[in-house]
Amino acid sequence: MAGTLLVDVVTPTATLYSGEVRQVVATAPTGEFGVLPMHAPMVAELGQGELRLTLDNAANDMLVYAIKGGYFQVALDHATVVTDKAVPLAGLDAAELEEELKSLQAIYDDIPADDEHIDARADVQRDIDWNRSVLVTLGHHGLG
């Protein structure tokens, strides 16, 4: 399709998307950036936030993912998103995520706050942060 770029969205366990899009908007640690066809080559670090793939000119023809870090590269109308973790927003249930967040918080609160358990607390805190990020992304799109 004319006026598109090929995009691959990959995680350590799967390729989540591979196809043509009209636009990509991704989250970097310093904010969002967008890429259209014929974009100059670039590499960027990704932050925790969202990735939007506009499939067609219609505003509602979009795939949205919550992402957790990684890298973005574009060259010759081919963009590659390599991310540590990503989930498509379609089909997520905000109420289930809220319950999971409560459970994670309870687990965190039960871990002793001493040097021996610092790694366990950090692991659970990362899960809490990821869960909150997904909920915020859902809220941005009126789904939360």
Q: Which residues neighbour 137 within 8 Å (Cβ) at sequence distance 6 or greater?
A: 49, 50, 64, 66, 89
Residues 100 and 64 in one domain: no
Residues 70 and 98 in one domain: no
Domain around 73: 5-88
Residues 31 and 65 in one domain: yes
What per-residue confidence (pLDDT) applies to 94?
A: 87
> Is the pLDDT confidence value at 60 over 80?
no
Residues 76 and 109 in one domain: no
Question: 81-112, pLDDT tens digit by residue?
Answer: 999 999 998 888 888 999 999 999 999 999 99
What per-residue confidence (pLDDT) applies to 136?
A: 87
**Between 143 and 116, whose confidence is greater?**
116
Q: How confident is the model at residue 57 (pLDDT cuts 50, 70, 90)?
A: low
CA–CA dist 66, 115 (Å, integer): 32
Residues 57 and 109 in one domain: no
Question: 118-141, pLDDT tens digit by residue?
Answer: 999 999 999 999 899 889 888 877
Question: 9-55, pLDDT tens digit by residue?
Answer: 999 999 999 999 999 999 999 999 999 999 999 999 999 999 999 99
pTM metric for this prediction: 0.82
* Domain boundary pick from 88, 106, 128: 88
Residues 63 and 14 in one domain: yes
Distances (CA, A) of 43 to 22, 28, 57: 19, 11, 25
Domains identified in the chain, total number: 2
> Is the pLDDT confidence value at 1 over 60?
no
What per-residue confidence (pLDDT) applies to 93?
A: 86
Look at the alpha carbons of 31, 34, 38, 44 in this order and tell me if their dihedral is positive or negative: positive
